Structure 1
Amino acid sequence: MTATRRKPGRMGPYIEGYTAWLVGLGYTRGTVVNMLAIAGDLGRWMNVRDLAPGDLDRVVAAEFRSACGAAGMRCVPGPRGLDPLLDYLEHVGVLVGAAAPTTPVDELVERYRNWLVADRGLADATVVRYSKLALSFLSQRVTEDSDWVGSLTGADVVAFLLRESGRLSVGSTKGRVAELRSLLKFLYLAGLTPRPLATALPPVAGWHDTGIPKGIAAADVQWLLDSCDRTDPTGIRDFAMLILVARLGLRSVEVARLGLSDIDWRTGQVVLRGKASREDGMPLPTDVGEALAAYLSQARPETRLRQIFVTCKAPTRAITPGLVSDVTHRACDRAGLPRVGAHRLRHSLATEMLRRGAKLVDVSQVLRHRDLATTAIYAKVDFDTLRTIAAPWPGAAR
């Protein structure tokens, strides 16, 4: 498969490997041909500019795009049109990847990020969220003073938290407190602050478990499942994802992490990898197993990825947890129902189990709660049991 009869210039040594890379990511033949043509145009432009492949970055890519437009080329690559090529060159070691930290804040955030991974073993998504908060907080504190970290005070920390709480919900503010405490703990352990400033953070006011879990009717859940077009690869995948949430109460992250080796077809069991790196085994119901088998045999793209659920369009990648709720939203639109997230289906499973006579401890086991107190919130929707213990209102007939 070649993109052009002209020589691809300084991209020549990488064309064959780049072709295999694109095919492996699931790009169609026509798309691969077009992307190789762009690589060839870039290689010839690099000859003129006397640039080596190692000199490439997104700034040089933008210059190339401008040169294409100035030359009147009919097909100018888009802003992200060269990203796959840059990713491939980074993969094979031609490019060094992201630039090293250049400011004191960048260097400190990088140290913090390494600590989160190596010492605390946090998940990638959590590391990203905590690092983002650290960058925001430290960027507001940096000064020309060489001891700008050591001079931090409890008042500085509380003032930042108050500014954040003014624009966030109670739940999000509680998250900020956890993120900020983690950063302050690191700064103290690293010897950068003389006092453990994490103790200066006040708790966020807010009662626990004051709401009522909101599920949707079992018939509506079935409508969501039935809305998936199971003659289409995307619909087959979406049905398998939704039935895992609706029948087993999986969290979005558990759906995204589910791997090929997590299914034991002989014993009919599935291993779930959820929060805090916890693993749980659950029986695999027949309808869920059939949905997974249909997706794996009929709709899943050919890929070396070990995650079960992958994107339907190139580049082929493992899905993110957020896609599970996106799929749920689209199913609601097709079924003509108000939009709900994937977690609402988890609530629906719990309330339906209670309606059918299950005990709270059974619900706790299915939802894989570590503490039965977490499941106790569903007692508020167990109306049949509540009626048996409700005291009569004084002066009124029961």
Structure 2
Amino acid sequence: MDANSRNRWFLDPGPLSTWIDQLADDLAAQRYTPLTIGGYTASARHFAAWLGCAGIAIDLIDDDVVRRFAEHRCRCPGGRQWLRISPKYSRRARRFFVFLQKEGVARPPLKVASPYPLLDDYQSWLRVHRGLSERTIARHLRQLHKLLPELGTATFDYNAARIREVVREWRDRTGPADLRTITSALRSYLRFLAGVGLCRPNLDHAIPPVLQWRLSSMPRYLAAADVERVIASCDQLTRGRLWDRATLLLLARLGLRAGDVADSDSAISNGRPACCA
């Protein structure tokens, strides 16, 4: 009997069983792997069984209930002895809760007035017209919530100078990797605004590229004194070290490349002169 069969046997999801199967179908339609789907459904089944043991009706599930599940000291069926479930496990259970909200089974989230109502339309635009994943959409929204207090909401007043100023301010606060994520979200948001006629077009071209060279911190070459020190470290009386010294001299004095030296070593070890290799 595999793990999923044991979980099905010990954990009774009750009336939510059908919705767990529908969650699996929904995840499969989004091309999640069977292993990932199994993880989500196992968490959902645990969550549903815990609701039944706690006597919590489906229409009473809310964020506080999900938090209580995440913090409960697990003694649920199946021999579990967890002091607390992992954050990853609880996030999977929350995903099931969000799915139930979307299907109209659980109570919908409370509507909180957003200081940036355009972000709701932007979120729909990313989902429908760009086909981005929910994770990427959430990352874009997080970055824009950082930028909009400085950029402002008067989109018709946006100009290249203002956009560059905001990017320059964030360049001084964060590293290149984070700045690339921020500018990517801003560039996408400006394209959305231009597309719906809420700002002048082509403002996304005002965002300067974030340059980063992977090996920029490495020295381009060794100083002459350092090279001589490395060569001198090879003991000329030891056969192996003498070979190392010869290799270093080929590299330093003749300017040969590593591949050239390797070919010479191979030719010598095979008994041929290097010039015939």
Q: TM-score scaled to structure 1, two decimals?
A: 0.35
Task: Look at both structures and tell me which one has the larger radius of gyration over its CA atoms.
Answer: 2
Q: Whose helix fraction is larger, Structure 1's or Structure 2's?
A: 2
**Higher RCO (CA-CA < 8 Å; seq separation 6+):** 1
Q: What is the TM-score normalised by the length of structure 2? A: 0.47
